Amino acid sequence: MTSQNIYILAIESSCDDTAAAVMHNGKILSNIVANQKIHEEYGGVVPELASRAHQQHIVPVVDQALKKASINKEQLSAIAFTRGPGLMGSLLVGTSFAKSLAYGLNIPLIDVNHMQAHILAHFIEEDAFDKPPFPFLAMTISGGHTQIVRVDSHFDMEVIGETIDDAVGEAFDKSGKLLGLGYPAGPEIDRRAKLGNPKAFTFTKPRVDGLNFSFSGLKTAILYFVQKQVKANPNFIEERLDDICASIQYTIIGILIDKLKLASKQTGIKHIAIGGGVSANTGIREALKNGEQKFGWTTYIPKFEYTTDNAAMIAIVGHLKYLEGDYADQSIMASARLKL
């Protein structure tokens, strides 16, 4: 197998980023992402605008990925694409494009589950990054999902805990919105949290049994807290913004780490990986590293560019499925609610 030259072109269009990547035998040759600025004005992703922007970006992004990788279409072994979960209009653009290209080139088409890709991003060949051994626990934390997954092999995964309402990324973004921060607010809260006191304000953590999460109550608690403070001091937000951000981030990280501790205790698994946009957060990275001493964990944090939505993670799943001969046929359809 290793003497084979496998080139995968991967396409990701599940939400508001149009992305394409080229992988050679598990190594990334190019990883292009076109962000859609248009949604910033609306404080959240507008699905109709996202699909239109994907349509504009997809050909130039794929073209750039091939050029940067210095290969031509004829060298490709297969086309991998995100089948779901995600926004239907967005998924349709990537799916239709991938199907047409695979058909035109007469090469295999490989469907990829976006959430599985956030986890398998850890298997991209990178010199400075270790791959987690099986079994491990993966916590996928993004704008659309919050899950704890038990991973027994590349394709044997079980969701053992997930959010019953908002995703953790939404908790960041919605809290940021009510503080007047732009969209997405996660990176800005992260930046400000470093300048503030995490214990300045206390927000009650939600009580959810077992390994499930809930974040909608926290958002409401933050809203009421801010409204009350602003009544007493109209300048409260601008005067204490760093402290508010630090306290929100501290609370969210506490919720995530508590559940990871419980999951590790219940399963006896101490190898812990994270993935998804929120795993770019400095605080969660630090808290996870601290877990190595505190709880005896070995932790795996993906390279920064493989945390938020990207096509490199789609490429690695494509590569692994290619090795197994697990191809899709041309009748495959996008699936907005695809399960892990």
CA angle (65, 169, 59) in 5-degree steps: 20
Among the residue ranges 45-53, 194-202, 221-229, 304-312, the one whose residues contact Zn ion (CB under 5 A)? 304-312
Closest alpha carbon to 330 in 57, 31, 79, 54: 79
From the list 309, 318, 321, 338, which residue makes contact with Zn ion (rule: CB under 5 A)? 309
* 146 touches Zn ion by CB under 5 A: no
Among the residue ranges 137-145, 182-190, 198-206, 295-303, the one whose residues contact Zn ion (CB under 5 A)? 137-145
Measured CA to CA, the distance from residue 163 to residue 4 in angstroms comes to 41
Strand partners, 197: none
Given Zn ion, ligand KG4, none, residue 308, with its beta carbon under 5 to 8 Å by kind, binds: ligand KG4
Among the residue ranges 161-169, 227-235, 303-311, 331-339, the one whose residues contact Zn ion (CB under 5 A)? 303-311
Q: Tell me the residue type at 310.
A: N
Joined tokens for residue 82: 């995100």
Given ligand KG4, Zn ion, none, residue 251, with its beta carbon under 5 to 8 Å by kind, binds: none
Give whichever of 77 and 247 is closer to ligand KG4, judged by the CB atom.
247
Binding residues with Zn ion: total (CB under 5 A)? 2
* 147 touches Zn ion by CB under 5 A: no
Cis peptide upstream of residue 85 (ω within 30 degrees of 0): yes
Closest alpha carbon to 145 in 303, 309, 283: 309
Q: Provide the minimum distance between the beta carbon of 57 and Zn ion in the complex, in angstroms, as a whole number.
A: 17
- Interface residues with ligand KG4 (CB under 6 A) are 15, 142-144, 169, 172-173, 184-187, 190, 276-278, 280-281, 308-309
Give whichever of 45 and 102 is closer to ligand KG4, judged by the CB atom.
45
Q: Provide the minimum distance between the beta carbon of 118 and Zn ion in the complex, in angstroms, as a whole number.
A: 6
Exposure on the CB side of residue 138, measured as CA atoms within 13 A? 32
From the list 30, 142, 163, 279, which residue makes contact with Zn ion (rule: CB under 5 A)? 142
What does DSSP assign to residue 238? H
Contact 109, 38 (CB under 8 A): no
* Phi, psi (deg, nearest 5) at residue 121: -55, -25
- What kind and span of H or E run contains 21? strand 17-24
Given ligand KG4, Zn ion, none, residue 132, with its beta carbon under 5 to 8 Å by kind, binds: none
State the residues that interact with Zn ion by CB under 5 A: 142, 309
